[in-house]
Amino acid sequence: MAKKASKKKAVARKKAPAKKAVAKKAVKKVASKKATVVSRSKQPENFNIDEITNLLNAVNTSGVNELKLEKGSFKITIRQGVTTAPAVVQASPIVQAAAPPAPAPAAASAPAAPAASPEAAADNLITVKSPMIGTFYRSSSPDKPPFMSVGDTIKEGDVLCIVEAMKLFNEIESEVSGTIVKVLVDDASPVEYDQPLFLVEP
Amino acid sequence: MTLKPAIGSNVIEFEQVDSTNDYAMQLANEGNAEHGTTIIAQFQTKGKGQQGRIWQANKEKNLLLSVILDTSQKDIQSQFILNAAFCSALAHLLMEDYEIGDVSIKWPNDLYVRKKKVAGILIENVIRGQQWQYSIVGIGLNVNQINFPPEMMASSIKNEMGNEIDISNVRKKLFIQINKAYKQYVSNELDLIAEYNSLLHGYNSKISFIKEGKTYTGQLHGAQQNGLLCIDDEQYRHGEIKLLL
């Protein structure tokens, strides 16, 4: 029992910095794109970096999954949690053409998405992450049923999925026992290293 | 630390089995897998090949086997290097033990003599959480089969040599080659990528490939440690491009 608890703790601790990094990266991306296209900008109306930061924080604390805003020709979409994509901010092309340059360090130090994604929202859940870059498969071949579906009970050592990379096929086994609460990635889609794949209720 | 048994010192042999890889995987999943244990079949009813294609093998003509490796001491990031080690071992078998000329590796895991496929490797791994526990290395080597469907563009040792080959002899020699390669993988894995590249079809020359339905040519600079193939200034994952021979 004690062993299980400590493992969970370790998972939770690991999560926070990783997520922060993703959020930072996303903000930075917006900032750097702005910087490159500012000279073409003729639009007076736009969001500045403080507003974007405030929006991010507002979304994080509110629990909404998606927020779309328009200001003049400037559109911004903030998504969190439910999508499989690691990006927190998705800016439309218009954003890139219209925004003023923003100081990147400020963006980087902005408090970023501490409580947003599903595994943090429900902290009793364990996130199973991809050990590598590759393609995620839920079954051993297209004509076979998935290894696991939502609601299935799993035990340590059960096969959850396959991640294929360079024709090397990796059967990912569970380290924990519990129930599959959510499958976070679609079959046959690419996954990144450390990308959340499943949520498991222990 | 106890010495691990050599690959092939423990052999489980079948006249016929669905797939030697599946059988080996089952042993690994049951916790009954010992490092080096090799599953050999004279015939596979569901042999795995490229993209789910069935490896076409005549009964008793070819060498079909799967090796179980305990990889718990190895880093997941070195998976492609293991693939490189086994590809090189097969190339050496054909070139040195059977003195077949014009042997090359077609990225990522096929063995060719001129423009015909003679052998293939299919690696399946068992990963618990983030830890690489076992690798199952499946090998299909055409030995005495002489007739292949023309669309397969395949050949065998016999086709290349002109005479019937003693399969048990091939097996013995293959085990020597793969034990040598595996030792190198454990001790000095980086050299294996250089070796793999030196055997790569089209290495350091102009090659053609298909990407999204269009044909391109480019200078092949070889594979990286992670398996990405470098052509001109680009790097490609398997599945992104198809190399033309």
Write the burial class of residue A68 (CB in 10 Å: 0-12 exposed, 13-18 middle, 19+ buried): exposed
A2 and B CB contact within 8 Å: no
- Whether B226 and A173 lie within 8 Å, measured CB to CB: no
Which ipTM was obtained for this model? 0.91
- Whether A157 and B29 lie within 8 Å, measured CB to CB: yes
**pLDDT of A24 over the 90 cut:** no
- Nearest by Cα to B238 from B109, B52, B75, B152: B109
Cα A145 to Cα A140: distance, rounded to the nearest angstrom = 8
Closest-CA distance of chain B to residue A199, Å: 13
> Does residue B108 have a cis bond before it (omega within 30 degrees)?
yes
* Residues from chain B contacting residue A202 (CB–CB below 8 Å): none
B78 and A CB contact within 8 Å: no
* Residues from chain B contacting residue A166 (CB–CB below 8 Å): 79-80, 83, 108, 226-228, 237-238
Cα B162 to Cα B157: distance, rounded to the nearest angstrom = 8
A132 and B CB contact within 8 Å: yes
Tell me the average pLDDT across A33-62.
Answer: 53
* Chain A, window 163-192: residues with a beta carbon less than 8 angstroms from a chain B beta carbon: 165-175
**pLDDT of B92 over the 90 cut:** yes
* Options 3.40.50.2020, 3.40.50.720, 3.30.930.10, 3.40.190.10; CATH of B11-199: 3.30.930.10
pLDDT by residue (tens digit) across A98-112?
333 444 443 333 333
Half-sphere exposure for B209 (CA within 13 Å, toward CB): 26
Helix H or strand E segment including B121: strand B116-128
- Nearest by Cα to B109 from B70, B136, B140, B68: B140
- What does chain A look like in DSSP terms, one character per residue? -HHHHHHHHHHHHHHHHHHHHHHHHHHHHHHHHHHHHGGG--------HHHHHHHHHHHHHH--SEEEEEETTEEEEEE-SSSSSS-SEEE-HHHHHHPPP--HHHHHHS---SS-SHHHHSTTSEEEE-SSSEEEESSSSTTSPPS--TT-EE-TT-EEEEEEETTEEEEEEPSS-EEEEEE-S-TTEEE-TT-EEEEEE-
* Residues from chain A contacting residue B83 (CB–CB below 8 Å): 166-168
- Whether A135 and B239 lie within 8 Å, measured CB to CB: yes
Mean predicted lDDT score pLDDT of chain B: 92
Q: What pLDDT sits at residue B201?
A: 96
Lowest mean pLDDT among A25-29, A76-80, A156-160, B198-202: A25-29
Question: Token pair of B35, please?
Answer: 């490092």
Domain ranges, ordered by start, for chain B: 11-199, 206-244
A–B CB contacts, 8 A cutoff, strictly below: 66
Indicate the DSSP class of residue B77: G
Chain A residue closest in CA terms to B239? A166
**pLDDT of A23 over the 80 cut:** no
Helix H or strand E segment including B197: helix B190-198
Chain B residue closest in CA terms to A134? B237
Closest-CA distance of chain B to residue A202, Å: 15
pLDDT by residue (tens digit) across B106-144?
999 999 999 999 999 999 999 998 899 999 999 999 999
Query: What strands, in cross-sheet order, belong to the sheet with A126-129?
Result: A126-129, A196-201, A178-183, A153-154
Lowest mean pLDDT among A8-12, B35-39, B139-143: A8-12
B72 and A CB contact within 8 Å: no
- Whether B126 and A173 lie within 8 Å, measured CB to CB: yes
Tell me the average pLDDT across A168-172.
Answer: 96
